[in-house]
Structures are given as C-alpha cells and as structure tokens.
Amino acid sequence: MAEVRGGESIRAILLDIEGTTTPIDFVFKTLFPYARLRLGPFLRERGGESEVRADIEALRAQHRADSAANLNPAGWIDTSTALELESATAYGVSLMDRDSKCSPLKLLQGKIWQEGYAKGELRGEVYPDVPPAFVRWSGQGKIIAIFSSGSVLAQKLLFSSTAAGDLTRFLRAYFDTTIGPKNASESYRKIVETLSVAAPGILFISDVAKELDAAREAGMQTALCVRSETSSAAPGAHRIIRSFEEIPE
C-alpha cells in the first residue's frame, strides 16, 4: 500500500475539491455565478418548501450573528414573505460576494445547482488525472472521501456528472462544513472517527496550506496539491504534488 510519511500505509484518501480535484475556474466562473443569478427566483419559487424554509431560517440566524459581530450586514426585513425573501436574497448574494463558507448558503447553492444539473445546464468538471486515480485507489482497497466547503449534495452532483461518467461509485464518504470549519483540527478528528481509520492512515490532499495544517494537527498525513504550472508554492510542512499520479502505490 502507499506510503507517504514515516512508513505509514495509506488506508484512506481525503480530498478537497476546488483546486484539487476540480479546476478553480469551474467553481468561480460557472457554479458561483449560476447560483448568484438564480438565488432570488429560486427562493421565490421554492421558499415555502420545508427544507428551503429551514435554510432561510438558518440564513437569518447567521445574519443575526453577523450583526452581533458588527459585520454590518444589510437589514433583514420580515414584515412580509416577499420582503423576507428579498432580504434573504440580498444577504445570500453578499455572502457569495465575499466567498463565505456559511453552511446555510452552501445548502441553498447545492439545491440551485441540483436544478441546473437536472436541466443539463451544468456538468461536473475534474482534472484528467482524477478518474484513473479513483480507479487505482479503489483497486488498492483504499477509502476515498471528500471534504469540501460545498454541501454534500453539491459534491455528489459534481462527481456524478463528469465527462468520465459517474465517479460517485468510488466515493465512500462526503463531509462539508456542517462537521466543522476546514481549518479547524477538530473537524478532521471527527472525520477520523467517522471513517474508523487511524489518523496516520489517512492522507488529506488540498490546495490550501491552512487546511493541511489542521489535518496534520489531527494526525493525518498531508499533501499540498499545486495544479498551476506557474505556482510558486514553497516547500514547507507538506509535500507538494502536481498530479494524483504522484501518490505512490
């Protein structure tokens, strides 16, 4: 089995999405604009559904927290359903504009993207080395899991609709920020418990050093994924890889 650090065999591979399995441009130039444009119409059309209603209430709670933290969000008006949905839309767009990892926003984005995938307006994108790596790692008996700020629904939609086909058949577990922030070591400890694999047997691959720092603090092995040929990422606490082909057997 693969060994990356200290002779410890890799039993599970935990993957970030943006900049690791999937081009950043797909997220920022396709997915985010799609959700931003459709948030208002989506809330007006489906705001009465129980799941969407719960997302709106959670968004309102986050708005209160932002107000208490003196982040000065735009006012939230709930004297009528129309004004409340307008407030939720404006607040949601403002969160998108600052690339917030707010969980209720991510849940709403996932539902909007679900409609886009169903209509054929969206299709998941992954780097060319991802599908063969999934086949290889699965053949080696490794668990493959995802940890992304995007909702679990959004993760499943992306990997089920790639040009290489449905890749969800290779994925054993999905984690989003409902388990905790990606830069908090406690989130990775929870993932260790869920996967039932000792932390040193898990390799976390991400393009964000702070996330890797947190995973390493939790005892995981780590690799910094650098996809851009022009990147000047410097060697540090984490091994640098430019392709999943560099993960040894």
Task: With respect to residue 200, please indicate whether it lies within any of the assigned structural domains.
Answer: yes
> How many domains would you assign to the chain?
2
Q: What CATH number is associated with residue 114?
A: 1.10.720
Domain's final residue, options 66, 95, 118: 118
pLDDT in tens, 76-135: 998 999 999 999 999 999 999 989 999 999 999 999 999 999 999 999 999 999 999 999
Tell me the average pLDDT of the chain.
Answer: 93
The answer to whether 2 and 248 have CB atoms below 8 angstroms apart is yes
Find, among 98, 102, 93, the residue nearest to 38 by Cα: 93
Task: With respect to residue 192, please indicate whether it lies within any of the assigned structural domains.
Answer: yes
Domain enclosing residue 191, as ranges: 12-22+124-246
One domain, residues 151 and 198 = yes
pTM for the full predicted model: 0.89
One domain, residues 101 and 172 = no
Pairwise pLDDT comparison (98 vs 173), residue with the higher score: 173
What confidence category does residue 235 fall into, taking pLDDT thresholds of 50, 70 and 90? low
3-state secondary structure of 238: coil
Find, among 205, 139, 138, the residue nearest to 172 by Cα: 138
